[in-house]
Amino acid sequence: MIIRSVEFAGAVATPGGPLPGNLPQVAFSGRSNVGKSSLINVILGRTRKKMAHVSSKPGKTQTLNFYRVNERFYLVDLPGFGYAKAPKAVREGWRGLVEWYLGREGELRGVVHLVDGRHPPSRLDLEMMEMLGGFGLPTLVLLTKIDRVPKGKRERTLEVAAGELGLDPDQVLLFSSRTGEGREDLLAALDDLLDFRERAPP
């Protein structure tokens, strides 16, 4: 996949809210401190003029944020979960919004779930995978911040994470927002999830 155009298409703040369009969608989920905004900016090629806001304080994404890519699909940034400093009612509101979106009939083709590659999957990661399995959604896991894991330990890290999450190893990719490692593999995986292959212009 070649990223030619990206624009912010709109946000949904409450369950039942109107989506910005009916293009195919791929959603990105993960804990609030897993580096999701940085990753989105890297894969969209927007590291100078950032599309997804990167904050030093986790929990800033509180809505479903839709980015229209190549006029072909939406990349959907889901609210980060597990941010303990947010009031309980707010956290429950985020969860309700995410559950509504994942469970609705629509154009969602799959979910990319981010796990901090420096640590084993958390209880919340396991709960998210169980939720996604219940909805029957195709899921790819990215182990983020992998540049902070010694190269000799990365393959074992991937195997352990896949085992704990109940996935085949080919459903798990390594990624670093700092170095860009894994970007091309992720873009190829998005092609598969979206079930279309884009050709470079002549």
CATH of the domain at 185: 3.40.50.300
Q: pLDDT at position 11, please?
A: 92
**Residue 28 near residue 80, CB atoms below 8 Å:** no
Check pLDDT > 60 for residue 59: no
- List, in sequence order, every residue forming a beta bridge with 111; answer none if it has no partner: 27, 139
Q: Give pLDDT, residue 173.
A: 94
CA neighbor of 78 nearest in space, from 87, 66, 86 = 66
Residue 201 lies in a domain: no
pLDDT in tens, 159-201: 999 999 999 998 999 999 889 899 999 999 999 888 754 444 4
Domain of 79 in residue numbering reads as 6-194
Please provide the distance, in angstroms rounded to a whole number, between the alpha carbons at the two ends of the chain: 15
Q: Which two tokens stand for residue 92?
A: 């429950």
> Is 202 within the bounds of a domain?
no
pTM of the model as a whole: 0.83
Per the domain annotation, does 87 fall within a domain? yes
**Strand arrangement, sheet containing 139-144:** 6-12, 64-69, 73-77, 25-30, 108-116, 139-144, 172-174
Are 125 and 160 a contacting pair, CB within 8 Å? no
Please report, for residues 59, 61, 143, the alpha-carbon distance to residue 180 in angstroms, rounded to integers and kept in the order given.
24, 22, 13
80-97: pLDDT as tens digits: 765 445 555 555 566 788
Residue 163 lies in a domain: yes
* Res. 18: pLDDT tops 80: yes
pLDDT in tens, 138-164: 999 999 999 999 999 999 999 999 999
Total number of domains constituting the chain: 1
Residue 97 lies inside a defined structural domain of this protein? yes
Nearest CA among 105, 116, 109, 113 for reference residue 130 = 113
Tell me if 144 is assigned to some domain. Answer: yes
Whether 108 maps to a domain, the answer reads yes
Nearest to 113, CA basis, from 98, 94, 103, 100: 98
Question: Which residue reads 């905004």 in tokens?
Answer: 37
Q: Is 199 a domain residue?
A: no
